[in-house]
Amino acid sequence: MAVAVKICGITREDDAARVAEAGADYLGLNFWPGSKRHVTVARAAALGRAARAARPAVALVGLFVDQPEDEIVAAAAALALDVVQLHGDEPPAAVAALTARGLTVWKAHAVRDAGDVAGLAAWPAAAHLLDAPSPGRGGSGTRFDWGLAAAAVAAGHRVVLAGGLTPDNVAAAIARVRPFAVDVASGVEAAPGVKDLDRVRAFLAATAA
C-alpha cells in the first residue's frame, strides 16, 4: 500500500521548493501563532508558490488551532489550500461546518488511550491525524502507542500518523499501523522550521521501502 507523506512546518521558500521536488505529497503550513513554525498568510503564499513551481502536484495543508471559521475559509481561499487541518479543541460541528463550505478537513487528535480511538467516529473528517499529546499542539517529536493508531485503522478510519516519526522508525511505523499517510516535522529538521533536506530525503526513501 502506498503511503502519502506530509512534511509539516515549512517556513522557508527554499525548503518548500526542495521538499516538494523531493516528492512529498503534502506540505504543512502552520497558521497557529503559538507555534515555533508559525507563518502568516502572506508568507504562506510565497511558500505555496515556491512549492507548486517546483512540483505542481504537491498539496498544501493549512494547520489551524481554534481559529474562527471565517478566518480559516479566507486563508484556504487565498492560498488554494488542498486540506485544512484542525489541531485544536474544535468540536465535530466545526469540522462539519467547514466541510459544508467545500473544504477537505483533517482533524488532529492527541491520543492517550483506547477511549480517544473510540471517539474518532464523532468527527465527520476526511482523515484523522493521530499525534502524541503535547503543549505545543504537535511538532514535539514525541511518540505515542502505535497500537492505538493501528486500532483506529482497523476500525475503518483514514489515519494520518504523526508523533515522533523519523527516517529511522517510519518504516516500522507504517508496517505496524498501515496508515493512509505519515506526518513529520521535527524528525526532519535542523531547527524548528528549518528542514534538513538529507533527512527529508531519507524519510521519503524509508516510506517507499
89 belongs to the catalytic site: no
Q: Please give the pLDDT value at position 141.
A: 62
Instruction: Record the cell numbers describing residue 138, joined without a space.
Output: 504537535
Contacts of residue 128, Cβ cutoff 8 Å, sequence gap at least 6: 106, 107, 108, 109, 120, 152, 157, 158, 159, 160
CATH class of 4-208: alpha beta
pLDDT tens readout for residues 56-92:
999 999 999 999 999 999 999 999 999 999 999 999 9
Q: Which of 66, 70, 89, 131 is catalytic?
A: 131
Average pLDDT, the chain: 94
Verify whether residue 8 is a known catalytic residue. yes
pLDDT, one tens digit per residue, over 33-53 is: 999 999 999 999 999 999 999
User: What is the Cα–Cα distance from 36 to 116, expressed in whole angstroms?
Assistant: 26
pLDDT at residue 91, as a whole number = 96
Residue 193 confidence (pLDDT): 94
Q: Quick check: 6 and 184 in contact, CB under 8 A? A: yes
Residues 8, 15, 25, 183: which is the catalytic one? 8
